[in-house]
Amino acid sequence: MNFKIAVLPGDGIGPEISAQGVDVMSAVCERFGHDVEYSYALCGADAIDRTGDPFPEETFRTCLWADAVLFSAVGDPRFDNDPTAKVRPEQGLLAMRKKLGLFANIRPVETFDCLIHMSPLRKEIIEGADFVCIRELTGGMYFGEKFERDDRAYDTNAYTRNEIERILRVAYAYAGRRRKHLTVVDKANVLASSRLWRKVAQEMAPQYPDITTDYMYVDNAAMRMIQDPRFFDVIVTENTFGDILTDEGSVISGSMGLLPSASTGEKTPVFEPIHGSWPQAKGKNIANPIAQILSVAMLFEHFCLTEEGAAIRQAVNAALDANVRTPEIQIPDGPFYGTREVGAWIVDYIRNH
């Protein structure tokens, strides 16, 4: 294949992990005989500083040109505690999702055998946990009508039947390829939008007789996820609940720095880690590049290049097994491997296997 990749490194640790993702992408392309061409574009705080816009038109055009976007992270503390800021880095990410029509965010939560003891949860609870959270990404409170004044503010959690149906179809497709168990997460005891989610799901469920569909309130799901994560196979939920539940889910594996995601929908798909820009670690060469590297695996798998994806996963597992790990998951007094060293080790492994 001849890949055209838009690379959006963004802010904080973004550029450091992005570089490792790109190197891995190149190594895999070389090994499997694909051509790859990169085009870099601005997003987030970096884009605001240079253009005033967190998702400039030129970046949008680069994304449309590409077969896939390799995105890293956006966010900058300069904006976080300034409620008067008119424009924020995160708006760049949201604009990208909206303009590319990326309504389905796929966030797999897996455990790595050699890291099981790193999890804050007990081994017996998490061993074998393996689920996918399908987060609706272009609707709900993130994009609903907003009102903001000093004495009153609101966000609107709006969903249409059509938006719910299309994300449920994605979720059913995943469940069909996996353990055939779909959990629809909502707050239908309180929210009108959730009642529509549940109604639409109940209407659709009979079309998928081989899949068990169950319904769970989000508060209960949050509890179940740490009490019994193996219960879940595929979770589907709205934008806000999915954001919160996937941060919770990421802890199960032992580090947020391990989990990738794919956002797909109408236009160019985006592959990105689920973690943020970790500004405190910027430039320190300590951020884990694995979430970014595994998002490259998801990129290949999206194009049905499963061997390419498997080569990356194998290299990542080998690195973790060999203790080639960034500090947050390193064994006590273990050797130091930074972002670059972990990335380079994985690239070497891919070249030599």
Bridge-partner residues for 69, per DSSP?
A: 6, 270
Residues 6 or more apart whose Cβ sits within 8 Å of residue 189: 217
Q: How many helices (H) and strands (E) would you count in the chain? A: 13, 12
**Among 270, 260, 282, which Cα is nearest to 133's?**
260
Give a three-class secondary structure readout of 242-293. Answer: HHHHHHHHHHHCCCHHHCEEEEECCCCCEEEECCCCCHHHCCCCCCCCHHHH
Query: 213 or 250: whose CB is closer to ligand IPM?
Result: 250
Note whether 90 binds ligand IPM by CB under 6 A.
yes
> Where on the chain is the footprint of Mn ion (CB under 5 A)?
243
Whole-angstrom distance, CA of residue 25 vs CA of residue 327: 24
**Least spacing, CB of residue 44 vs ligand IPM, in Å:** 9
97 assigned to a ligand binding site? yes
Is 107 annotated for ligand binding? yes
Measured CA to CA, the distance from residue 228 to residue 223 in angstroms comes to 8
Interacting partner of 90 out of ligand IPM, Mn ion, none (Cβ under 5 to 8 A depending on kind): ligand IPM
Residue 23 marked in a binding site: no
Smallest gap from residue 270 Cβ to ligand IPM (A): 10
3-state helix, strand, coil in the chain (%, to 5): 50, 20, 30
Q: Is 93 in the site for ligand IPM (CB under 6 A)?
A: yes
Q: Is 267 a catalytic residue?
A: no
DSSP letters, 55-77, are S-HHHHHHHHHSSEEEEEE---H
Beta bridge partners of 99: none
Examine the residue annotation and report whether 247 is marked as an active-site residue of this protein: yes
In the complex, the smallest distance separating the C-beta of residue 276 from Mn ion, rounded to whole angstroms, is: 7
Q: Consult the annotation and say whether 179 binds a ligand.
A: no
Q: Does 243 sit near ligand IPM (CB under 6 A)?
A: yes
Active site residue 219: yes
Q: Closest CB to Mn ion among 15 and 242?
A: 242
d(Cα 336, Cα 16) in Å, to the nearest integer?
17
Site mask for ligand IPM (CB under 6 A), range 201-240, x = bound = ----------------------------------------
Q: Is-contact 79 85, C-beta < 8 A?
A: yes
Q: Does 308 bind ligand IPM (CB under 6 A)?
A: no
Q: Which member of 53, 186, 233, 243 is catalytic?
A: 243
Is 333 labeled as catalytic in the residue annotation?
no
CB-nearer residue toward ligand IPM: 99 or 325: 99
36 with 87: CB under 8 angstroms?
Answer: no
- Is 228 a known ligand-binding residue? no
Given ligand IPM, Mn ion, none, residue 121, with its beta carbon under 5 to 8 Å by kind, binds none
Site for ligand IPM in 251-290 (CB under 6 A): 274, 276
**Of 159, 187, 208, 233, which is the active-site residue?**
187
Main-chain dihedrals φ then ψ at residue 236, nearest 5 degrees: -125, 135
- Which residues contribute to the annotated binding site? 97, 107, 135, 219, 243, 247
Among all residues, which ones are annotated catalytic?
142, 187, 219, 243, 247
Binding site for ligand IPM (CB under 6 A): 75, 90, 93, 243, 274, 276
